[in-house]
Amino acid sequence: MLRQQKFGVEPWAIRETGLNLDDLGPAESVFALANGHIGLRGNLDEGEPFGLPGTYLNSFFEYRPLPYAEGGYGYPETGQAVVNVTNGKVLRLMVDDEPLDIRYGDLRSHERVLDFRSGTLTREFEWVSPAGKAVRVRSERLVSLAQRAVAAIRYTVSAVDQPVLVVVQSELVANEEQPSAVNDPRVEAALHEPLRPAGHFLDDSGVTLLHRVERSGLRMAATMAHDIDAPDGFQVHSSAHENLGRTTVTCRLLPGRHLRIVKHLAYGWSSQRSLPALNDQVRAARSVARYYGFEGLLDEQRRYLTDYWSSADVEIEGDPQLQQAVRFALFHVLQAGARAERRAIGAKGLTGPGYDGHTFWDTETFVLPMLSHTAPDAAADALRWRQAILPEARARATQLGLSGAAFPWRTVRGTECSGYWPAGTAAFHINADIADAVIRHVQTTGDADFERTTGLELLVETARLWMSIGQHAPAGGFRIDGVTGPDEYSAVADNNLYTNLMAQRNLSGAVAACERHPGGAGELGVDADELAAWRDAAEAMVIPFDDKLGVHAQSEGFTSHAPWDFAGTPADRYPLMLHFPYFDIYRKQVVKQADLVLAMQLCPEAFTPEQKARNFAYYEQITVRDSSLSAATQAVIAAETGHLDLAYDYLSETALLDLGNLAGNTEHGLHIAALAGAWSGVVAGFGGLRPLSTGLALSPRLPQALTRIAFRLRWRGRCLLVEITHEQAVYRLLYGDDLELRHHGEPVTVPRDGSATRPIPAPEAVEPVHQPAGREPLARRIRSGQPGAGLV
């Protein structure tokens, strides 16, 4: 079992005892709270010290220039970067005449707890000022999953052993100073004072600040109000300025007495609504928060999460640390998308500014499959956001001389923000990834209305793109040349197998959806000839295969490339993209992240079991996992091909990626797709879940280290509980009608309000597979005392 020194191991919480000032940044990401609309990093209440201050509103951004040493046609001229908005977390504390700063005086104790069942961050500490005055502080923070615009903090200060005069300054702070950016392409430069004052108001209930950002034209409002419980004689004063709102509470505390402040926050933004309307909106949300009170908001939060866990929980026996990590992952993925409501789910969620807050293909490929099975409304809304940015995607396709829609490789609000075209513009597989998420969501939910109103248009426009990119070659077959697949170390390749298989799935799925909804297809201009062309292209799709080696080729000619010198590449030269020229990387057999292996997970029917085993062994020895997205996929296919202990190691790596800061960049936000991959590693890996066109198929098996896993998932109006031991699998319907599924290929009927039990066949012996030198799963390397690795 991996040993995690920083956080205690417990099943439903992350607990930090003590405080390491050198490690504030990663902890702020781990302890972040969000609801898909608002994100609050886990900064200390006093505001300082900090690793990286951050308060975010989903899709609230500013433009920034994208400079090029040498420009080219179709290069994006501007990028988009998430803005650190008005910070309402700050509660500065004066004890007598000294500010409470944990860097001074004596910090006797300090504990923080992130609770997955209450959705709260609780902090308790005792501090003695340099003058010897002791106070005990308890802070409880939540971002409401039930009230989308609301966050709240309950802050309690108690005198310990002698009277003290305390002053709490509760603030709204705009344009906080940000730390200097580092020289790393994974970390984007912070914008300098992007918020322009647009109004500030002080009323009997609280303080409101209005701001806009200049180039994007977006407007926002933030407001705060307080409920105060204090000894008689306390004083309150509030003020408002352009970039600062402050409420000051002063009182004298005798030993054992306390001052308690409940701070209610509300946030809103818009590209269309006026500032007065936003002002009214957030003040109304603030009023609702005060109506409920902190306990009322907390009760709502617990009910919301109880409902979520009832159909999403994963139980793991045999590894308490993995159990904690998987629930941590499930909690943060929910926070990233729960109330996004037709806005993007970014690669970092709302936990940090990494990647400028952009959304990539990994949302559809890793995050949405999990949400479709656990929080389907959030998955549907994420795809409705893709539909909302179709105008930009169509315009991009037109600019590139293509038909249909060309979705951006990275974006905040729909326009392409990638300045590196081999890994951006050429990575057209994002279109098929979006289509795949639509197909899987409809399979999982059976939601025909969603398919008709949202999915159909996405499938049609993405299918049209493939017809303008690909071609029927004179020698036969439908080719898609000059594209980049998931493996960004093999750019601008011909017939990338992943891209071709996913495009095939896209085309076939579009045909099927149009046949189910002929009226909607007609409104989109689809006719019989276009449907026939899609069918023909799908049936003729080129699937590269190396007959000599007996494996599928990642792309045409890939298996003929020179091998990478893994033995001569030391550990400190990873990730390769930061230490070697792309020219060298692109023409060698070295894989950044699972590419063909991911195709085997998402398109399982395209491969025989023997092909999967040979492919996995071949690509395992050249995959370096310079991406955090890889380990989850390798876990799934390792389990499917019988390498159960290896799958366990890969699952541990993806689940513990942020709790252990294994990539060294958790400070800039959590890896939301990798966290969702932890769910896949359990459910699709050891559970063997494959949602096929014919229904659910499961092939469960456990590694030796685990004695039992259980998971819940939603499927077409049902909730299925799957319990797996080494000997048997039990399928139980928690609600819904009878369910037909396949267990290791055999049909099983699970009755309504009942269960079905089936034995698990013994696994066949397999030959070990090998990784490049020094690139074994991090779980194994940490156990052996080897250094960690760079991941992006």
Tell me the three state secondary structure of residue 230. coil
112 vs 15: CA distance, rounded Å? 6
Strand order in the sheet with 33-34: 33-34, 38-40, 55-57
Q: Which residues of 91-104 are buried (b: 16+ CB within 10 A; e: fewer)?
A: bbbbbeeeebbbee
Apex CA 349: angle with CA 347 and CA 353, to 5°? 80
219 vs 608: CA distance, rounded Å? 54
DSSP state of 693: T
Tell me the three state secondary structure of residue 717. coil
Q: Cite the active site residues.
A: 488
For residue 61, give the amino acid letter.
F
Establish whether the linkage from the previous residue to 751 is cis, with ω within 30° of 0. Answer: no
Q: Do 666 and 658 touch, CB atoms closer than 8 A?
A: yes
535 CB-contact burial (10 Å; exposed 0-12 / middle 13-18 / buried 19+): middle
777 vs 774: CA distance, rounded Å? 9
For residue 450, give the amino acid letter.
F
Contacts of 12 (CB under 8 A, 6+ apart): 115, 116, 117, 327
For residue 87, give the amino acid letter.
N
479 vs 472: CA distance, rounded Å? 6
Q: Do 201 and 208 touch, CB atoms closer than 8 A?
A: yes
Hey, CA dihedral for 351, 631, 458, 688, is it positive or negative?
negative
577 vs 619: CA distance, rounded Å? 19
543 vs 475: CA distance, rounded Å? 14
DSSP state of 558: G
In this structure, the strands spanning 708-715 and 195-202 are unpaired
Apex CA 684: angle with CA 682 and CA 687, to 5°? 65
| CB half-sphere exposure, 382, CA atoms < 13 A | 35
Q: Do 158 and 46 touch, CB atoms closer than 8 A?
A: no
Token pair for residue 593? Answer: 């992240």
| CB half-sphere exposure, 580, CA atoms < 13 A | 22
